[in-house]
Amino acid sequence: MITSRLVLRMFLMIYCLCPSFQQEPPFVYNGFDQAGNNLHLDGGARILPHNGALQLTNDTLRQMGHAFLQQPIDYNSSEPVSFSTHFVCALLPAGYPSGHGMAFVVSQSTDFSHAEPTRYFGIFNASSNESTSARVLAVELDTALAPELKDISDNHVGIDVNSAVSKLSANASYFSDKEGRSIEINLLSGDPIQVWVDYQGTMLNVTLAPLKTEKPSRPLLSAASINLTEIVQGRRMFFGFSGATGSIMSYQYVLGWSLSKTMGTLQSIDISKLPKVDHPSNKHDLQGYEMHIRSRLSVSSSSMARVLLQILIITSLHLISPSSQQETRFVYENFTSQENLYLDASAKVLLPSGLLQLTNTSDYQMGRAFHKKPIQFTSFSTHFVCALVPKPGVEPGHGLTFLISPSLDFSYAESTRYLGAFNASRSPALAVELDTIWNPEFNDIKVRGGHVGIDVNDPISIAVAPASYYSKGGNVSLNLLSGNPIQVWVDYDGSMLNVSLAPLEVEKPSRPLLSHPINLSDIFPNRSKLFVGFSAATGNSVCDHYILWWSFTTSGGGSLHRLDISKLPQVPHPKPLPTSHPKKLPQWIIIMIVCLGVAVLAVLAGVYFHRRKKFSEVSETWEKEFDAHRFSYKSLYKATKGFSKDEFLGKGGFGEVYRGKLPQGREIAVKRVSHNGDEGVKQFVAEVVSMRCLKHRNLVPLFGYCRRKRELLLVSEYMPNGSLDEHLFDEAKRILSWKERLVVVKG
């Protein structure tokens, strides 16, 4: 047995040292437990001993992992540069949200010392993002939305050439030949996903499918004009994988891999032999690793082997948590203990509940609460629960912020729209605002329910969105002023700030509400430690601003304390304004009011009909034939002061005569002629109208007429010297001689 063991060890040493034993394509790996010597692993990449899966990243912050073939693939000048690859991968969330993603990579080199994690996938960096110096072709499986890289979603596939900005991208999906349509794939489902990448000539095709689905006939992405030799600057290329995390993390696995220079020689992956995907933990990994070592040790289990195994396990434990001593982590389940809490202005803790109140409903208030000790960090995650409770009958406002500041001196700060953190000039601070007042001069958006913004050094937001949260493929609105508790998450990975909201009983959404690149060293130069806390303010608009719970860590979101909703203090809600109900009137009063109303209406109706009857007229169609001016009875009534006795001039053979004055100032004489019926009226009117046409100096001109029932009114010019009959029949005056009478007749 000892001899066979030594022979096996010698064979393994020769295999590792001799390049001729290295595998050349085509090859296939159904798990990677036998592939260690053929792969170059760096960063967080490793082969899990308990199942043979290739793990690129785990739940460590800002991690990179690379796994490449040890030897490059050379294409001689006589053969075309082409390849086909088929691999099975799985991405498991490590908290919510999760990211950033992994990529299949063809590169000139395996030196990625220049690369950065997060959205750069451990392949690129900010400087190489727009240049050709990276010399990399990558097919990315991206699970974090980066708008500055022109990402289309947080679940997409892209083709990258020398840059993390994809040349071509599409939402993760596959074409179902059976159903004749594209079906979405969730990259972060944790389920194994098949990926095919085929390159021939200058055409690159990328295809996805679930594990037990045949390769679809239609690729997801198809990019032309891809010149691989130009990208990598030669005909020697390294093939492999890369993955990365940031402040959001995920477990990224490759379970199987087949590679060939041509499609025809690509070997099939045996799905039945692939390792099972699980959710690894540090303890689980160590147990698996220990079992892997034990299976290769002698059955006798010598004491030396035990000692070596213990040393190896202790060393592994140390390597797994290298930064645990540097982590700052705290939680306020409530704020009863104020030992590490700095309160400023109107901020106070309500006892015995331990509820932190930043402002009450007084005008022009400010309140601030900070963790008393400054913290050194390059990344952080925080989770807090707040509530904004409006005062009934008053316009609510203004809002609160999660605030990062180099100092606790806010003597310069103002209330109202400055939220107790800023003033009209610039102030060094980074704030995530929950704003309930629209201020267009601050680039606020006008939405009902308030908005969320990221502020740097002043209240003019550099990123803003309506208060909402992502759920079931869409955004659901949140009303910041509902008075209900709201969860807020703020995650910063060193370059990207993500803000997420959700109601109290909803898990952290998979997609943040806001995501914006931030460089803390630019905002706070020469400051290694910063204060974190909250600020709120009121103005003419007021409300109670509360913080119920707060957790903070300088590590990833996975190390945040878990919220226990049952332990949260109750939010006090003010009593609503009493609704005034008018006293019910006694029935007899109601009856009296109704009767009085009816009586008033009857009187008004009587007056109306009386006046209508009083001024009523008679008009017939034949009157229009004479084309005579017709006066309204109402105008004649007013002109004669209601046919007053004071205006009475006399009584003739046909009726009474009254003096009148029209509104224009002309004096008139109105004769009221009575008749008992309509007979002869037409003939009489005709004769009167014909008289109007006569031109004689001693005849009084006729202006017009008015006709009422049994009454005819003639309107003529008023003669202040009287009429002719006074000089013919009045014995008190001189009687005209016949000669004078003839002169009058002749005119």
Binding residues for ATP, as ranges, are 671
Q: If we measure between CA atoms, which residue out of 114, 159, 109 comes closest to residue 138?
A: 159
What distance in Å separates the CA atoms of residue 705 and residue 713, rounded to the nearest whole number? 5
What distance in Å separates the CA atoms of residue 537 and residue 366, rounded to the nearest whole number? 4
HEC per residue, 511-563: CCCEEEECCHHHHCCCCCEEEEEEEEECCCCCEEEEEEEEEEECCCHHHCCCC
Q: Coil, helix or strand for 567?
A: helix
Q: Which amino acid is at 12?
A: L
Residue 572 near residue 468, CB atoms below 8 Å: no
Tokens 């001993």 map to which residue?
A: 49
Question: 587: part of which helix (H) or strand (E)?
Answer: helix 587-614
Looking at the DSSP bridge assignments, the partners of residue 341 are 371
Looking at the DSSP bridge assignments, the partners of residue 200 are 203
Distances (CA, A) of 85 to 170, 211, 264, 277: 20, 15, 11, 21
Q: Which amino acid is at 222?
A: S
Q: Which amino acid is at 62?
A: R
End-to-end Cα, the chain, rounded Å: 168
What distance in Å separates the CA atoms of residue 204 and residue 225, rounded to the nearest whole number? 9
Q: If we measure between CA atoms, which residue out of 501, 509, 463, 454 comes closest to residue 482?
A: 501
What distance in Å separates the CA atoms of residue 553 and residue 558, rounded to the nearest whole number? 9
What distance in Å separates the CA atoms of residue 174 and residue 207, rounded to the nearest whole number? 7
Token pair for 743 = 């002169």
What distance in Å separates the CA atoms of residue 431 and residue 422, rounded to the nearest whole number? 10
Using CB atoms within 10 Å of the CB of residue 14, give its burial: 0 to 12 exposed, 13 to 18 middle, 19+ buried: exposed
Distances (CA, A) of 417 to 71, 160, 447, 582: 62, 44, 16, 40
Region of 234 (left: φ > 0; alpha: ψ -120 to 50; beta: rest) is left
In whole angstroms, how large is the CA radius of gyration of the chain? 49
What distance in Å separates the CA atoms of residue 234 and residue 317, rounded to the nearest whole number? 43
How big is the chain, counted in residues? Answer: 747
**467-470 contacts at long range (C-beta below 8 A, 24 or more positions apart):** 467/434, 467/501, 467/513, 468/501, 468/513, 469/500, 469/501, 469/502, 469/503, 469/506, 469/509, 469/513, 470/500, 470/509, 470/510, 470/511, 470/512, 470/513
Q: Which amino acid is at 366?
A: M
Residue 368 near residue 535, CB atoms below 8 Å: yes
Using CB atoms within 10 Å of the CB of residue 378, give its burial: 0 to 12 exposed, 13 to 18 middle, 19+ buried: middle
Q: What residues are designated binding site?
A: 671
Q: How many CB atoms lie within 10 A of CB 513?
A: 23
